[in-house]
């Protein structure tokens, strides 16, 4: 497994500081949250895109994924959703990122499947995948896997397993991994106080079954990205991400086959 860290844990920090934190924390990758506050978003021009990519690569890092906010199953017309997703995919290609995270934001897999199919040709040509996170209305591995199966484009889609959300919705890590099957493409690791109180805490001090999930990933031979998603943007009272990264690095070392 390869360690990355999300810029969600670095509110108010610019890209250069994010790169410094990732490199100093032993990461191989940096997950870039797409938002005007972070300076990385689909509105960047060609020169700005080159600058982002060059600064990350100069530090010896890779962009593990772009953390976008498109709701692939969101109710409403397809066109705005497809256009936003295509814009994020083109940004990913320009930055050298292998995938773009999306949220479900709806519970109808037919809607999401239709949109995933609509971008599949462009996604394949760009060499980027759409990563559907276990989140909101499709918080379990079973729900995300059903969506991806209906879309039927495994070369351009994948499941992003956020270890918190399936578990807090009653799905065990074993059931999550079994549901994902070949769809699993990315992992976000985090710990939280409990299933009801999702306040972030340092790894192994909360309730998320991290050792069970790590052992399952090791047994499955998973060798992809694991990103520390430290949600300091939403919980500004928690410790800086630099204090949490050593635990994430330890988790990856412990469970890398």
Facing residues of 183 across strands? none
Facing residues of 158 across strands? 131
Per-residue confidence (pLDDT) for residue 132, from 0 to 100: 99
Give yes or no for a contact between 219 and 184, defined as CB atoms under 8 angstroms apart.
Answer: no
Q: How far apart are CA 252 and CA 2, in angstroms?
A: 7
pTM, entire model? 0.98
For residue 257 the two structure tokens come to 């086959």
Per-residue confidence (pLDDT) for residue 37, from 0 to 100: 85
Integer angstrom CA distances of residue 200 from 28, 41, 64, 105, 193: 23, 26, 22, 22, 7
Which of 225, 169, 180 lies closest to 1 in space, CA to CA?
Answer: 225
Per-residue confidence (pLDDT) for residue 217, from 0 to 100: 98
Phi-psi sector, 72: left (phi>0), alpha (psi -120 to 50), beta: alpha
Residue with tokens 């256009």: 83
The contacts of residue 79 (CB under 8 Å, 6+ apart) are: none
Facing residues of 31 across strands? 6, 65
Helix (H, G, I), strand (E, B) or coil at 158: strand
Domain spans in the chain, listed from the N-terminal domain onward: 2-255
Q: Compute the chain's Rg from CA coordinates.
A: 17
Per-residue confidence (pLDDT) for residue 227, from 0 to 100: 98
Which of 113, 42, 44, 100 lies closest to 73 in space, CA to CA?
Answer: 113
Q: How far apart are CA 176 and CA 124, in angstroms?
A: 26
Facing residues of 65 across strands? 31
Q: In the chain, which residues have pLDDT < 70? A: none
pLDDT tens for residues 160-201?
999 999 999 999 999 999 999 999 999 999 999 999 999 999
Residue with tokens 């360690």: 3
Q: What is the CATH topology of the domain spanning 2-255? A: TIM Barrel (3.20.20)
Per-residue confidence (pLDDT) for residue 112, from 0 to 100: 98
């Amino acid at each position: 497994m390869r360690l990355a860290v999300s810029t969600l844990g670095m509110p108010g920090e610019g890209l250069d500081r994010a790169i410094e934190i990732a490199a100093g924390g032993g990461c191989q990758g940096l997950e870039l949250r797409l938002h005007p506050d972070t300076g990385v978003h689909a509105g960047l021009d060609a020169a700005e895109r080159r600058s982002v990519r060059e600064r990350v690569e100069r530090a010896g890092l890779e962009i593990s994924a772009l953390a976008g906010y498109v709701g692939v199953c969101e109710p409403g017309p397809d066109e705005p959703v497809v256009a936003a997703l295509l814009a994020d995919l083109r940004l990913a290609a320009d930055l050298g990122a292998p995938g773009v995270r999306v949220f479900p934001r709806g519970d109808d897999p037919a809607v999401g499947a239709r949109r995933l199919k609509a971008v599949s040709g462009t996604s394949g040509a760009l060499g980027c995948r759409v990563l559907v996170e276990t989140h909101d209305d499709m918080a379990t591995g079973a729900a995300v896997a059903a969506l991806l199966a209906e879309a039927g484009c495994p070369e351009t889609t994948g499941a992003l397993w956020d270890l918190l959300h399936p578990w807090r919705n009653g799905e065990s890590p074993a059931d999550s991994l079994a549901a994902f099957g070949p769809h699993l493409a990315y992992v976000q690791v985090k710990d939280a106080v409990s299933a009801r109180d999702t306040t972030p805490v340092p790894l192994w001090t909360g309730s998320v079954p991290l050792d069970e999930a790590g052992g399952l990933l090791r047994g499955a031979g998973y060798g992809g990205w694991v990103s520390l998603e430290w949600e300091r943007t939403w919980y500004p009272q928690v410790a800086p991400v630099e204090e949490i990264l050593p635990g994430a690095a330890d988790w990856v070392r412990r469970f890398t086959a």
